[in-house]
Amino acid sequence: MKILSIETSCDETAIALLSCEGSYDAPTINVTNQALYSQVKEHAPFGGVFPALAKREHAKNLVPLLLEVLTTAKETGINKSTPTLEQRERIQEILSQEGGLFELFEKHVFTLGRPSLDAIAVTNGPGLEPALWVGISFAKALSYLWDIPIIPVNHMEGHVLSVLVNRERHPHFASRGTHLITYPAIALLVSGGHTELVHVKEPLVYETIGETRDDAVGEAFDKVARLLSLPYPGGPEISKLAQASRADGEIVPPNLVFPRPMIASDSFDFSYAGLKTAVLYKIRELGELTEETKRLIARSFEDAAIDVLITKTRRALDEFDTKTLIVGGGVIANTYLRERLEALHEDFPHITLLLPTRELSTDNAIMIGIAGYARYMKNKDAYTAFDTQDIRANGTLSL
Ligand code: KG4
Ligand code: ZN
């Protein structure tokens, strides 16, 4: 089955073309093509993602990315055709709220013809609603024009299933270890918007056992980076400084050790706002920071943030029957977290640890296509043409 997938929940505009086979619980996923535009440069002056700007950038970039994915894909079998007046008007209506997207669609997509695709998967939440809507409207327009079903996808399910890409055929995108999840599994999801521990009882069945009560871990990385005047996005910058500190064998002095919020609590919930505030107070107390102190603060913050993730994950593995540990979301790009997970894994040799590659850790459309395929295979009848389903953006959609 050929799936076109679209991701616009935050500041990455991404489209992928996947060729999928197999059942929903053990699919084989091959990436035919993918294109991604990161808006990091556009948002950097604001020090965070600015929703109206994200929406405008998605509207500008979706059509060029679609063309990139389809024209370089040999397998799509594009046939030229001209839309009817009725089709043109309907699509104009579907895209009426999405800035200049209709104009780009008219110029480039109408002339493209109908590619051989079986379905379109699109993120419908969680995320920034104005950003999500651009992707959804675009998917609806394509679904209508090409008369293929549309599959709404939960972005967090995408992060969970991002480890499933076929390892042999796509070493660049393949997950570490096998590309099969055995159930039940525990998923640790760590991104700019989420910090969650999820018990995956069986394929596509989730129970959230813990989540952040305030800031997400990626958000804490980004905020602490800002306090240290590091460039946006801050996660990778903190990580670089912290790794340099470790490589030099530096010891964090006691006055720079930060608290590990909720580490001893029975709950699987997290809290990162207090850690960020502790860093803020320390920086105020110290006044002017030397490069060496900055490095130690970054290191000490990362130690604290990741200690909590590892401790809670260890407890989840102790408490729940688990065959696989999956970790997904942008923060799994962090080298130290990966090292700590490998070390944790040594204590649970009977469990398979699945980590996405760095490319699949941060937001992308491949993971959305995987989740879309799994959902479709589980319940084909639920996914029909765009106007028979009420697909809406839901900023707070949960698993
Ligand atoms: O999953 P993602 O791309 O987008 C969301 O859905 O939020 O995650 C982005 C988050 C940002 O907060 C970013 O700072 C963080 O992932 N991140 C990192 C690293 N790379 C990205 N955090 C720590 N260390 C990294 N190397
Ligand atoms: Zn994400």
Q: What is the mean pLDDT of residues 10-36?
A: 93
Q: What is the mean pLDDT of residues 31-41?
A: 93
Give the pLDDT confidence of 301-311 residue by residue, as tens digits: 999 999 999 99
Q: What are the helix (H) ranges across 254-355?
A: 273-286, 291-319, 335-346
d(CA 198, CA 207): 6
Please report the pLDDT score of residue 71 as a whole number.
Answer: 74
The confidence band for 164, taking pLDDT boundaries of 50, 70 and 90, is confident
Please report the pLDDT score of residue 79 as a whole number.
Answer: 58
Q: Which residues of 283-318 are buried (b: 16+ CB within 10 A; e: fewer)?
A: beeeeebeeebbbbbbbbbbbbbbebbbebbebbbe
Ligand 1 centre distance from Cα of residue 227 (Å): 17
The yes-or-no verdict on residue 246 having pLDDT over 90 is yes
Please report the pLDDT score of residue 179 as a whole number.
Answer: 64
Whole-number average pLDDT of the chain: 92
Higher-pLDDT residue of 314 and 29 is 314
Please report the pLDDT score of residue 75 as a whole number.
Answer: 46
The yes-or-no verdict on residue 8 having pLDDT over 90 is yes
Asked whether 110 and 63 are in contact (CB, 8 A), the reply is no
Give the pLDDT confidence of 374-396 residue by residue, as tens digits: 999 999 999 987 777 789 999 99
Please report the pLDDT score of residue 172 as a whole number.
Answer: 52
Ligand 2 centre distance from Cα of residue 329 (Å): 5
The confidence band for 81, taking pLDDT boundaries of 50, 70 and 90, is low
Choose the weakest-confidence range: 64-73, 89-98, 101-110: 64-73
The yes-or-no verdict on residue 171 having pLDDT over 70 is no
Please report the pLDDT score of residue 342 as a whole number.
Answer: 94
Q: What is the DSSP letter of 106?
A: I
Ligand 1 centre distance from Cα of residue 334 (Å): 8
d(CA 225, CA 298): 8
Q: What is the mean pLDDT of residues 7-33?
A: 93
For residue 231, cis peptide bond before it (omega within 30 degrees of 0) = no
Q: Which ligand is nearest to the CA of 234?
A: 1
Concatenated DSSP letters for 84-101?
-HHHHHHHHHHTTTSTTH
The yes-or-no verdict on residue 14 having pLDDT over 90 is yes
The confidence band for 45, taking pLDDT boundaries of 50, 70 and 90, is confident
Concatenated DSSP letters for 136-188?
HHHHHHHHHHHT--EEEEEHHHHHHHGGGB-TTT-TTTPPSS-S---SSEEEE
Please report the pLDDT score of residue 77 as a whole number.
Answer: 52
Distance linking the first and last C-alpha atoms of the chain: 25
The yes-or-no verdict on residue 132 having pLDDT over 50 is yes
The yes-or-no verdict on residue 176 having pLDDT over 60 is no
Ligand 1 centre distance from Cα of residue 223 (Å): 12
Please report the pLDDT score of residue 177 as a whole number.
Answer: 47
Q: What is the mean pLDDT of residues 105-117?
A: 87
Q: What is the mean pLDDT of residues 92-101?
A: 96
Among 132, 159, 161, 191, say which to mutate for ligand 1: greatest number of ligand atoms within 8 Å of CB: 191
Enumerate residues lining ligand 1, CB below 6 A: 10, 191-193, 218-219, 221-222, 233-236, 239, 329-331, 333-334, 362-363
CA 363 to ligand 1: nearest atom: 3
Asked whether 58 and 52 are in contact (CB, 8 A), the reply is no
Please report the pLDDT score of residue 167 as a whole number.
Answer: 57
- The side-by-side arrangement of strands in the sheet containing 2-7 is 28-38, 12-21, 2-7, 119-125, 150-154
Give the pLDDT confidence of 333-371 residue by residue, as tens digits: 999 999 999 999 999 999 999 988 888 999 999 999 999
CA 217 to ligand 1: nearest atom: 12
Among 362, 363, 368, say which to mutate for ligand 1: greatest number of ligand atoms within 8 Å of CB: 362
Three-state secondary structure string covering 217-232: HHHHHHHHHHHCCCCC
d(CA 282, CA 253): 13
The confidence band for 232, taking pLDDT boundaries of 50, 70 and 90, is confident
Please report the pLDDT score of residue 173 as a whole number.
Answer: 54
Judging by beta carbons within 10 Å of its beta carbon (0-12, 13-18, 19+), is residue 399 exposed, middle or buried?
A: buried
d(CA 57, CA 38): 10
Report which of 13, 51, 29 is spatially closest to residue 371, judged by C-alpha positions.
Answer: 29
Say what angle helices 234-247 and 217-227 make with each other, to 10 degrees: 80
Q: What is the mean pLDDT of residues 158-166?
A: 88
Give the pLDDT confidence of 204-218 residue by residue, as tens digits: 999 999 999 999 999
CA 216 to ligand 1: nearest atom: 12
CA 11 to ligand 1: nearest atom: 4
